[in-house]
Amino acid sequence: MRVALPALLLALAGPVPALAADVPLPDPAEEAQAQTLMKELRCLVCQGQSIADSDADMAADMRALVRERIEDGQDPEAVRSYLVSRYGDWVTFSPPKRGLNLFLWLAPLVFLLIGGIAAIRLFRKRPDA
């Protein structure tokens, strides 16, 4: 009975709210910078949402980190660089165009060019009627 009662109370308590609530920065300009950056960063749990829109605990931690670093006087680009170095290029919705990412950005143009050349060659070989 001693073990069952606390277990029952824990089960009925429901989900525990997050310990770190989203508290906006006191300076409206800094909060605007933080919000803009949060909309550009991808939630690592939800994958399709920004950390500004996500309800995941990881996103809440990332929002707190962004606010903390901006409040400490860091530039939003420095905060972004820190998160990219920690989580990789995928954390941003617009990854840099270099390395393998450059191939992914240029591949559609290359395929379009190849298709255009193939279409021109195909139509030039047709006999005139």
Which residue has better confidence, 7 or 88?
88
What is the domain partition of the chain in residue ranges?
4-95, 97-129
At residue 18, the pLDDT reads: 44
- For the segment 44-95, what is each residue's pLDDT rounded down to a tens digit? 898 789 999 999 999 999 999 999 999 999 999 999 999 999 988 888 887 7
Closest CA to 23 of 58, 87, 66: 66
Measured distance CA(38)–CA(80) in Å, rounded: 9
Judge whether residue 101 has pLDDT over 80: no
The pLDDT score that the predictor gives to residue 61 is 93
Residue located via tokens 């660089």: 81
- The topology under which CATH files domain 4-95 is Helicase, Ruva Protein; domain 3 (1.10.8)
